[in-house]
Amino acid sequence: MQSSSALEYDYTVAKYFTVATIVLGIVGMLIGVILAFQMAFPALNNLAGEYGTFGRLRPLHTNAVAFGFALSGIWATWYYVGQRVLKVSMAESKFLMVLGKAHFWLYAVGVVAIVISLLMGISTGKEYAQFEWPIDIVIVIIWVMWGISIFGLIGIRREKTLYISIWYYIACFLAVAMLYLFNNMEVPTYFVAGVGSWYHSVSMYAGTNDAMVQWWYGHNAVGFVLTVPIIAMIYYFLPKESGQPVYSYKLSLLSFWGLIFVYVWAGGHHLIYSTAPDWMQTMGSVFSVVLILPSWGSAINMLLTMKGEWGQLQENVLIKFMILASTFYMFSTLEGPIQSIKSVNALAHFTDWIPGHVHDGALGWVSFMIIAALLHMAPRMYKREIYSKKLLESQFWIQTTGVVLYFTSMWIAGITQGMMWRATDQYGNLAYSFIDTVTVLYPYYTIRAIGGLLFLVGMFMWAYNMYKTFASGRELEREPQNASPIAA
């Protein structure tokens, strides 16, 4: 075994997933922009036959961003952060190194299978769970490989104390494993009843039970993929980039246990005013409101970490990304509980206010944090200076403008929809037809598409900056201790 002072970390797998994060981020968001323009200009549905329609592209977009871009970013950071906080190199275990590479390549195979199947219209029709049973099996294998990697690295660690980021990565692994297995219990129709294609299946649950299990999974897929591991990232990367210790380690633990306990019971708010039992709807609303406390606990902890060091925001673009990510996290985790209150949900549900909420979290919180994390990793993995500060500053402001245009247009569109759907004339009849509500939203859909396009432009700028960093960035003589070196 090497001494920790001479430890050379092996970032091979982290580099693989870094490339996957960039590629899938651009692909997923490009499809999202196409969809946004299709909403504003419906004729764009006809550009590529059945393969370019909204119904084919929408599940491809959600899965490419949530389980492509975000998951790749989570795994890239795990294979970087895990080694550093546990003080052990993957190169010290041939088994873990082979497993990590197999994890990536099997994931790549899974991505190809998912893209082909969704473009062909092969889907279970369940939100965030559209894959048929053969792909589900591959996903389970991939997930188990990651779990073995986590606990294998923990098992050979030198650092006995598990830093809070490791807790959050473990929570992501365990929760998603449980959620995915239960929600994707399905019956292959060909093998059971002799009908349909060999890959076709139906859910093991029916009716209201299926809806309850689906949204127990669906909401927590957001919680334990797009929230918990992203918090793991900011607890590591913000202190490392700023040189500031976490403001309160006790608050980080309190927020962790609060989030883990409360989040799993909040999914019922997706089924308010449905045939789901009223007690479950109420439980979803109550736990959603309680969820503000642990969510804001983490965000405030990060903001207070910068106490007395706010001047760093003027110079360090990566800290700008991370602090704005925390701020968007606070917005999103206040907005979601507000939408979960029954009286508000009566107005908001099925409106464009909901995607507005989803995207201020997905773009402002998740994307900004992953972008900043990979930029922090780049000089340390490739031993090169980040290529361009001007490019990074431009990207930050372009993408921030894009996010603000996106969620504000959807807030206005959603509240307008909700009010028009409920409006009645003096005789108690509906004041507007459904097409009236669609027509009035045209300018907001156009603004949303422009916002998404700006964010996509920023993704290309980030990809170019990352490529130029590892291809031609100035070589570093030694690893930076805190602030990442960026060329002017």
Q: Identity (one letter) of the amino acid at 293?
A: L
* Start-end of H helices in 156-248: 164-183, 189-193, 207-225, 228-242
pLDDT, residue 377, reads: 98
CA dist 265 to 210, 229, 282, 287, 349, Å? 16, 19, 11, 6, 19
Q: Of the candidates 373, 39, 360, which has an alpha carbon nearest to the alpha carbon of residue 231?
A: 373
Local structure of 28: helix, strand or coil: helix
Local structure of 293: helix, strand or coil: helix
Q: Of the candidates 306, 338, 301, which has an alpha carbon nearest to the alpha carbon of residue 319?
A: 306
| Buried-state track 55-81, b at ≥16 Cβ within 10 A, e below 16 | ebbbbbbbbbbbbbbbbbbbbbbbbbb
pTM of this prediction? 0.96
- State which H helix or E strand residue 342 sits in: helix 342-348
CA dist 460 to 22, 30, 123, 139, 286, Å? 9, 10, 30, 29, 41
pLDDT of the chain along its 488 residues, tens only?
344 446 899 999 999 999 999 999 999 999 999 999 999 999 999 989 999 999 999 999 999 999 999 999 999 999 999 999 999 999 999 999 999 999 999 999 999 999 999 999 999 999 999 999 999 999 999 999 999 999 999 999 999 999 999 999 999 999 999 999 999 999 999 999 999 899 999 999 999 999 999 999 999 998 999 999 999 999 999 999 999 999 999 999 999 999 999 999 999 999 999 999 999 999 999 999 999 999 999 999 999 999 999 999 999 999 999 999 999 999 999 999 999 999 999 999 999 999 999 999 999 999 999 999 999 999 999 999 999 999 999 999 999 999 999 999 999 999 999 999 999 999 999 999 999 999 999 999 999 999 999 999 999 999 999 999 999 989 999 999 999 999 97
pLDDT, residue 277, reads: 95
- Measure the CA dihedral 174/178/183/185, to 10°: 130
d(CA 24, CA 66): 10
333 within 8 A of 293, measured Cβ to Cβ: no
130 within 8 A of 59, measured Cβ to Cβ: yes
284 within 8 A of 272, measured Cβ to Cβ: yes
